[in-house]
Amino acid sequence: MRLFKTLLAVMAAAVAVSCLGAGMAFAQNEQFIPRLVYRTGPYAPNGIPFADGYADYLDMIDARVGGVGGVKITYEECETGYNNDKGVECYERLKNKGPTGASLVDPLSTGITYALIERATADKIPVVSMGYGRADASDGAVFPYVFTLPATYWAQADALIKYVGEQMGGLEKLKDKKIGLVYIDIAYGKEPIATLEKLSQKYGYTFLKYPVSAPGIEQSATWLQIRQQRPDWLFMWGWGVMNSTAIKGAASVGYPMDHFIGVWWSGSEPDVVPAGTAAVGYKSGTFHAAGQDYGAIKDILKYVYDKNGGHTTRDKVGEVLYNRGVINAIYDLEAIRTAQGKFGKKPLKGEEVQWGYEHLDITAQRITELGSDGLMVPIALSCDNHEGNGKVRIQQWDGQHWKFVSDWIQPDRAMLTEMYKESALSYAKEKGITPRDCAKVM
């Protein structure tokens, strides 16, 4: 009989799930943000600091000024484990919470972004894929509810090439040089290939591809090839354990670290620390600064950590991915603030926040107000430009900290916009979407 009871118990458990989905009561003057995070599983080392940064910033805002325009910001984290179907489950679970439902969603994974684009568009909830997701979604005419600010993988690829050119004293010097790309062989890793191939025709360098099969724990073959072909510069689109392994791999074949540049998802503490001294000199792209000496970050320490709050330990505040979480939060809140300017200081619906994002304009002056001078650069979005012309900067690991080694680089917008349009239109065609006419959208 005991075993029969246990069976019943499981059945009951399954049934109990049914009462989910219906969100619970929320106070009325709140703006709810669903937080898709991954604090466990293979990518946790990168997921944790990001989630902490975002959460700490919201806590700080609520503590300092009691929310945005007097509207308290609430959030609930949901563990995706960087797993697409789990991400969808989280989105569906949280999208109706709060008085106005989810104001926006940060999928925090290229895969989940792809899975959410259509759902969220149908639900009129903005998908904010900050520096990840599908690049062509920058074309707001076809993807009204997807935002790729401040820069896409394609933009970054172009920026890296510009940087390399600069280092060699002029892009024309790239001719007949060899540039390699080490990438994790999944959707995310393949994003920059098209751009780098296009540019290779333009500048006449040879483009070498080195796919690493996920999760990238075994790369010796790749590095033997690299040692053999000796590309002059090496880019990396990696994630999680692949990054540190690759840096070790580069060291093991004596590849010059300062010619090895990672995407901004391959340029944070969890990527370099495990590699130890091998990682010194390794570079990566980024769209914001690391470190604690910026107003916003100081405020977090002041209003959250000094009051024994905070999601992590003081010393981890200011890590690259932590600050990236903060930046993400800043963008989201600024969009909400912008929307409040039009729709009033009240909890807003997703489509209202979408308007806010489309009219988001973070000026240098505004950045100062935010206490983020040097932490980030101005961006301005519009109906047909959901990327906002963000800039890219190169940072280098000195064994202790990430230091900038370049100025802010503006990618070749003309070319990119062209590429976005082309790709977006083919998507629209496949899906039977008729693009908005942004001239008519005010």
Partner 1 sequence: MLYREVGQFKASYAADQAIFPIRQDRWLMLGALAVAYFVIPATGSEYWLLTIMVPFLVYALAALGLNLLTGYAGQVSLGTGGFMAVGAFATYKLTTVFPGLNIVLALVLAGIIAALVGVLFGFPSLRIKGFYLAVATLASQFFLIWMFNKFPWFYNYSASGVISAPPRALFGQIYVTGAEADPRAKYLFVLTVVVLLALAAKGLVRGRIGRAWMAIRDMDVAAEIIGIRPLRTKLLAFALSSFYCGIAGAMWAFIYTSAVEASAFEIDRSFQILFMIIIGGLGSILGSFLGAGFIVLLPIFLDNAPRLAGLELPVNLVTNLQTMIFGALIIFFLIIEPNGLARLWVIGKEKLRLWPFPH
Partner 2 sequence: MWDNPEFVLEVVIGGLLSGIMYSLVALGFVLIFKASGVFNFAQGTMVLFAALTFVGLIERGLPIWMAFVIAVVVMILLAVAVERLMLRSLVNQEQIILFMATIGLAFFLDGFGQLVWGGDVHPLDIGIPKAPLIIGGVLVNEFDLVAAIVAGSLVAALALFFQRTAIGRALRAVADDHQAAQSVGIPLPTIWVIVWSVAGVVGLVAGIMWGSNLGVQFSLSLVALKALPVLMLGGFTSVPGAIVGGLIVGVGEKLAEVFWGPAFGGAIEDWFAYALALVFLLFRPQGLFGERIIERV
Binding site for partner 2 (CB under 8 A): 39-42, 44-45, 47-48, 185, 209-213, 215, 217-218, 220-222, 224-225, 227-228, 240-241, 244-245, 248, 251-254, 270, 273-276, 278
Give just the sign of the alpha carbon dihedral 50, 52, 56, 58. Answer: positive
62-97 burial, b if ≥16 CB within 10 A, otherwise e?
A: bbeeebbbebbbbbebbbbbbbbebbbebbeebbeb
Closest contact distance (angstroms) between CB of 374 and partner 1 is 32
CB atoms within 10 A of CB 292: 15
Options 31, 74, 84, 245; binder of partner 1; rule CB under 8 A:
84
Q: Is 359 in the site for partner 1 (CB under 8 A)?
A: no
For residues 165 and 180, which CB has a smaller minimum distance to partner 2 in the complex? 180
CB atoms within 10 A of CB 165: 18
Query: Among residue numbers 205 through 264, which ones bind partner 1 (CB under 8 A)?
Result: 213-214
Closest contact distance (angstroms) between CB of 368 and partner 1 is 35
165 CB-near residues (< 8 Å, 6+ apart): 171, 173, 174, 203
Closest contact distance (angstroms) between CB of 7 and partner 1 is 5
Pairs from 165-172 (Cβ < 8 Å, separation ≥ 24): 165/203, 166/406, 171/203, 172/203
Alpha carbon distance 92, 323 (integer Å): 28
What's the start-to-end Cα distance of the chain, in Å? 68
Options 62, 63, 69, 88; binder of partner 1; rule CB under 8 A:
88
Q: Is 425 in the site for partner 1 (CB under 8 A)?
A: no
Task: Draw the binding track, 380-409, toward partner 1 (x: CB under 8 A; -: no contact).
Answer: ------------------------------
Options 29, 65, 89, 217; binder of partner 1; rule CB under 8 A:
89
Alpha carbon distance 383, 357 (integer Å): 9
Backbone angles phi and psi of 366, in degrees to 5: -60, -40
Residue ranges in contact with partner 1 by CB under 8 A: 1-4, 6-7, 10, 13-14, 16-22, 37, 39-40, 44, 48, 77-79, 81, 84-85, 88-89, 92-93, 96, 110-111, 114-115, 117-119, 121-122, 134-136, 185-188, 190-191, 193-194, 213-214, 423, 427, 430-432
